[in-house]
């Protein structure tokens, strides 16, 4: 009678030999990338986005099989547990790796969620960086018709996502508040039929906000997203309006919205102009003083009318990075003194670096957010792949026009020839310069940006300001965490929301 054999699968732990440092030291590489950072160090990033900061030359030692389990037990264990190397050709935990990879791409699961309705192109501001707006008061020419609102809602209800966001943009969206009310009331009926959970957002400069509008927003749980470019002397120079009081109206509107809707129902966005670059600390202080506990240090979009005013709106990426780093240092100082105050762009990248989860930010995704996560219904019924695409159209560039609410079906828009063409260059995994980049999983692809700035949807990474900006910011964030453990703790508090 044979002795019963102990099959390895039935044991909780592998045998002692499996853990011995004296074992055969051959190992297999798993997909990873590396990048040189400060102080002679390098960062290794695995295919699923985990990173290790190691002394310079480590990548070479790993790849040329100079690494020894006996001589480098800690590094060896770190590399094995973080999926940089494996002792078997196919790692035992490949299913775990696959789940991690899938989780990183789970923003694709429900397809398009953000639906932007350009409810009116009219505006009472004449901001020099505005990409699209018309000062015209011609309601018929520049407001979205009820017919197009209905068609847009019908298309939104076709989204596979159970949670969709309906964002009202302008011009100044509140100039067509009657249109917003019409759309919201319509969606309330339709969302019941289609079992959709709808989040409403109005993008507004708040100049026209009054009690009646604010109360309607409260009743319908509508979020308000506004613009605040910093202290009055910056904001009012960026955002012109009769009376030169855009700042005063924005601040009063923020207070009114907080009073009626609630403190967390209004957010503000910064647009960085040439003027802003001179005031990083003052802009951060303004946000903090106004009670915001986050700020999004956002560069200007080089689209539409904004591109015409080069003196005010065009700057070198290096200048933006200098502004960003100084502002971020000031924000970190607030945190070091015990306050919770975060920078949103850093937060998006840090969440990708420090958690297994993706971020629903359409400008930094691969595959890109265009169509996959966002669609734009313009005031005239035309449909664009992104918000920036309709800005290009204002400059007579219709490259990203997908069709019209009047003539195209859902399938023709979302799965049509144009969408297929864009798909060839919307994944950074297959873009020149990106395919070997260590920061691939933290970054994204932006065919619209590269078309607008370089005339080519694929883009040329060595001269791309998108690449330079993201490489600069990601490297800076890694170096900050490497240089000061307190900063890493602060960064982790930003993504967990806990002080």
Partner 1 sequence: MIIACSGKVFCITVAEALYGNSVLHKCFYWYTGNYGVEINPPVDGQSTIVLTASEAFTSQQEDALADKVKRDLIDFALRDIVSRETATVRELLIAKAFAHYDTAGDPQTAVADPVGFDTKTISVE
Residues making contact with partner 1 (CB under 8 A): 7-12, 14, 28-34, 36, 47, 59-60, 63-64, 89-95, 97-99, 101-102, 105, 432-433, 436, 460-463
* Residue closer to partner 1 (CB basis): 59 or 184: 59
| Cα 95 to Cα 72: distance, rounded to the nearest angstrom | 27
Residues 6 or more apart from 153 whose CB is under 8 A from it? 183, 186, 187, 190
* Residue closer to partner 1 (CB basis): 213 or 438: 438
Smallest separation (angstroms) from partner 1 to the CB of 153: 31
- Helical spans, DSSP H, in 85-176: 94-104, 139-142, 146-157
* Residue closer to partner 1 (CB basis): 39 or 244: 39
Phi-psi region of 473 (alpha: psi -120 to 50; beta: other; left: phi over 0): alpha
Q: Which helix (H) or strand (E) holds 69?
A: none
* Residue closer to partner 1 (CB basis): 7 or 396: 7
Smallest separation (angstroms) from partner 1 to the CB of 368: 18
In Å, what is the CA distance from 107 to each residue of 35, 454, 469?
26, 28, 23
Q: Which helix (H) or strand (E) holds 36?
A: strand 32-36
β-pair partners for 299: 272
Smallest separation (angstroms) from partner 1 to the CB of 110: 14
* Residue closer to partner 1 (CB basis): 5 or 407: 5
Phi-psi region of 226 (alpha: psi -120 to 50; beta: other; left: phi over 0): beta
Smallest separation (angstroms) from partner 1 to the CB of 31: 4
* Residue closer to partner 1 (CB basis): 75 or 261: 75
Smallest separation (angstroms) from partner 1 to the CB of 160: 15
Smallest separation (angstroms) from partner 1 to the CB of 15: 11
CA nearest neighbour of 446 among 385, 381, 360, 359: 385
**Quick check: helix, strand or coil at residue 365?**
coil
* Residue closer to partner 1 (CB basis): 462 or 497: 462
Smallest separation (angstroms) from partner 1 to the CB of 408: 28
């Amino acid at each position: 009678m044979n002795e019963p054999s102990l099959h390895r699968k039935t044991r909780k732990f592998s045998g002692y030999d499996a853990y011995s440092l004296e074992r055969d030291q051959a190992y297999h590489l798993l997909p990873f990338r590396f990048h040189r950072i400060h102080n002679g160090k390098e960062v290794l990033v695995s295919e699923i986005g985990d990173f290790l900061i190691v002394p310079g030359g480590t990548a070479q030692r790993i790849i040329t099989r100079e690494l020894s389990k006996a001589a480098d037990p800690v590094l060896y264990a770190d590399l094995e547990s973080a999926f940089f190397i494996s002792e078997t050709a196919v790692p035992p935990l490949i299913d775990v790796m696959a789940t991690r990879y899938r989780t990183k791409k789970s923003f694709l699961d429900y397809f398009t969620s953000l639906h932007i309705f350009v409810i009116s192109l009219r505006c009472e501001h004449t901001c020099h960086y505005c990409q699209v707006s018309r000062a015209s008061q011609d309601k018929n020419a520049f407001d979205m018709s009820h017919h197009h609102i209905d068609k847009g809602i019908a298309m939104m209800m076709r989204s596979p996502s159970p949670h969709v966001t309906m964002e009202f943009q302008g011009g100044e969206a509140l100039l067509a508040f009657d249109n917003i009310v019409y759309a919201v009331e319509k969606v309330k009926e339709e969302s019941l039929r289609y079992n959709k959970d709808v989040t409403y957002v109005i993008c507004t400069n708040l100049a026209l906000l009054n009690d009646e509008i604010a109360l309607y927003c409260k009743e319908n749980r509508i979020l308000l997203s506004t613009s605040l470019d910093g202290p009055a002397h910056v904001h009012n120079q960026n955002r012109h309006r009769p009376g030169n009081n855009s700042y005063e109206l924005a601040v009063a509107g923020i207070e009114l919205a907080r009073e009626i809707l609630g403190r967390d129902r209004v957010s503000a966005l910064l647009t960085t102009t040439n003027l802003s670059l001179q005031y990083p600390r003052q802009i951060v202080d303004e946000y903090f003083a106004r009670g915001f506990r986050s700020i999004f240090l956002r560069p200007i979009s080089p689209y539409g009318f904004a591109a015409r005013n080069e003196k005010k709106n065009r700057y070198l990426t290096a200048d933006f990075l200098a502004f960003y780093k100084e502002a971020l240092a000031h924000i970190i100082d607030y945190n070091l003194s015990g306050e919770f105050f975060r920078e949103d762009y850093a937060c998006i990248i840090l969440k990708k670096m420090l958690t297994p989860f993706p971020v629903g930010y359409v400008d930094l995704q691969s595959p890109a957010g265009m169509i996959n996560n966002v669609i734009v219904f313009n005031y005239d019924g035309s449909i664009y792949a992104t918000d920036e695409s309709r800005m290009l159209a204002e400059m007579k560039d219709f490259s990203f026009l997908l069709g019209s609410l009047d003539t195209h079906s859902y399938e023709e828009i979302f799965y049509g020839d144009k969408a297929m063409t864009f798909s060839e260059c919307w994944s950074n995994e297959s873009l020149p310069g990106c395919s070997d980049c260590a920061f691939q999983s933290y970054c994204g692809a932006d065919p619209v940006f590269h078309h607008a700035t370089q005339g080519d949807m694929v883009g040329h990474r060595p001269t791309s300001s998108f690449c330079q900006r993201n490489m600069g910011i990601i490297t800076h964030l890694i170096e900050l965490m490497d240089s000061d453990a307190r900063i890493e703790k602060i960064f982790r508090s930003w993504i967990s929301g806990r002080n």
